[in-house]
Amino acid sequence: MHRERTRNEYEKENEWQPAAARRCPVNIPLLSLLIFTPWVGALLLFVLRRRLSASLGRILPILFSLSTLILGGIVLARFNPVITGMQFTEKHAWITALNVHYHIGLDGLSLVLVLLTGIISPLALFGPTRQVRCPAIHGALFLLLQGSALGVFLALDFFPWFVFWELSLVPAFFLIKLWGGPGAARAAYQFVIYTIGGSAFMLLGFAAIFAETRTFDFLELKLISMGGQAPILFGGAATTWVFLGVLLGLAVKVPLFPFHAWLPPAYAEAPTGTSMFLTSVMSKMGAYGFLRILWPLFPLQFHAAAPILLWLALGGVVLSAFAAMKQTDLKRMVAYSSINHLSYCLLAMCAVATAGPVNPAFPAVMIGTSESGIAALSGTILQLFNHGLSAAALFFCVGVLESRTGGLRGLGDFGGVRTAAPVFAGLCGIALFSSLGLPGLNGFIGEFLIFRGVFGLAPWVAAVATLGLLATALFLLTFWQRVFHGPATGAGVNFRDLDATEIATLGPLIVLMFVLGIFPQLLAGLINPLVTTWAATLP
């Protein structure tokens, strides 16, 4: 009875589909193109790897990588932010025996992340890979990674989603291992085994869900759980176990403190371009999973677990900031600051889930919290995007330091770089200030909204989290001061300034930091209606 009703609701929610089709004159499978163009490029590069000259082997991956930005732009132009359901959906039967569909679609959240992928990937291939060994193979692996990440952001059925999710590890493993620093072997192993160890339990959780519901479709599962059946799906205790399995898979990926141990070595040992992609795109996969899967499918369990998770996220915010202060390796410092920034997102989500009313049947309780909820959730999505920009820029700057000095990246190895390289110092400084959340730059708006939301929901937590802000400011300013200021010492003497390629890599990121800092509405407009619906229905 319940299930019948939810199916009907599901059909009703999808009634907009014909309208969307009408707006799109020729029915091109835009999202499939988005996912598979990089893969086609990867295949092409792999097949032709012997015949390509070095420069062509470097340029082709960049061109294929740009396809995401172009197609993402087309999607953006046709995207209707008022619709909160999925748009551009494609659904085809895949494995009938298991009721698996190739089902992809996009809403504001996915769109933001697709655009981020489109911006970061070509830059990560363009800037730091001039001296890379075997550019064609490197490019092929990178494109494989890029396509997998896009698949994760667009898939709406657990099965293809999980395929993309796991598949992204294979190229990442080889990129870290083959092109990484001296400790890359160990770091790559840790990265892959941690992540697979977590996602294995997620797989188990979904196998259990499937055994009960006979479907993998996120939208159908969401309706089932909102119809009130999720809590009784397997009987109380079993649902909790399923929830914990899925949570573990996502928590390792984000990472949620204390599952973060794989991250600093992986980011630090990866080559610069891969670090940029890992931190700005792949780290978003976990947070995306929280919003797309964990919360809609397990609202009650998430609500129940949220107080504990809130404290863990708070631990991530504060401890990772203090850990970053202690680092002498600049790349590890930026890696810890990444944990810190993503922990803000988790903090916001958990705060909303803690405070939110469990039962949508009592909207009265929500009025007090919904504004804070909306602020916190918008802040989360903006933070995801903004952290992508600033962390990629910072990793690139550390990469520049490394490439000039044959791999030096210690905090004490440099001094007074600004005198020799004013352009570099200026651009890197902007990235640092964006990362620590200076008003007027993009980092501010996300963090402000998160704090504004969390303060309304869990004031004490917000108060403690400001310690993290303080520590972030301290270590980023230490970075800025020790490397760029003072008398030129160490490797900072006669430091060569940025050349045209490097400026062209850093430039777009810096411009976007200003644009989004001054007009955050550009991005927020895409997600506002979505977040408002979430705040009304999700918690």
Q: Report the nearest approach of another protein to the CB of residue 49 (Å).
A: 9
Token pair of 352 as six digits:
């909303």
Q: Report the nearest approach of another protein to the CB of residue 158 (Å).
A: 11
Among 88, 153, 201, 534, the residue binding another protein under the rule CB under 8 A is 201
Q: How many residues bind another protein (CB under 8 A)?
A: 35
Q: Is the CB of 162 or the CB of 290 nearer to another protein? A: 162
| Residues 498-517: x where in contact with another protein by CB under 8 A, - otherwise, as a string | --------------------
Q: Is the CB of 203 or the CB of 314 nearer to another protein? A: 203
Among 16, 36, 210, 448, the residue binding another protein under the rule CB under 8 A is 210
With tokens 């992540």, the residue in question is 195
| Residues 232-271: x where in contact with another protein by CB under 8 A, - otherwise, as a string | --xx--x--xx-----------------------------
- 326 by Cβ neighbours in 10 Å (0-12 / 13-18 / 19+) ranks as exposed
> Half-sphere exposure (CA, 13 Å, Cβ side) for 138?
29
Q: Report the nearest approach of another protein to the CB of residue 297 (Å).
A: 16
Q: Is the CB of 165 or the CB of 396 nearer to another protein? A: 165
Q: Is the CB of 52 or the CB of 76 nearer to another protein? A: 52
Among 196, 420, 438, 473, the residue binding another protein under the rule CB under 8 A is 196
Q: Is the CB of 184 or the CB of 391 nearer to another protein? A: 184
| Residue 80 backbone class (left: φ over 0; alpha: ψ -120 to 50; beta: rest) | beta
Only segment of 58-66, 210-218, 292-300, 452-460 that touches another protein (CB under 8 A): 210-218
Contacts of another protein in 82-101 (CB under 8 A): 94-98
Query: Do residues 109 and 174 lie in contact, with contact meaning Cβ atoms separated by under 8 Å?
Result: no
DSSP letter, residue 259? S
| DSSP state letters, 284-328 | HHHHHHIIIIIHHH-HHHHHHHHHHHHHHHHHHHHHHHHHHHH--
Contacts of another protein in 163-182 (CB under 8 A): 163, 166-167, 169-170, 173-174, 177-178
Report how far residue 433's alpha carbon sits from residue 193's, in angstroms, rounded to the nearest whole number.
35
Report how far residue 26's alpha carbon sits from residue 153's, in angstroms, rounded to the nearest whole number.
24
**12: CB partners within 8 A, 6+ apart:** none
With tokens 């009592």, the residue in question is 362
CA 81, 63, 267, 426 torsion: positive or negative?
Answer: negative
**Residues binding another protein (CB under 8 A):** 94-98, 162-163, 166-167, 169-170, 173-174, 177-178, 185, 189, 192-193, 196-197, 200-201, 203-204, 207-208, 210-212, 234-235, 238, 241-242
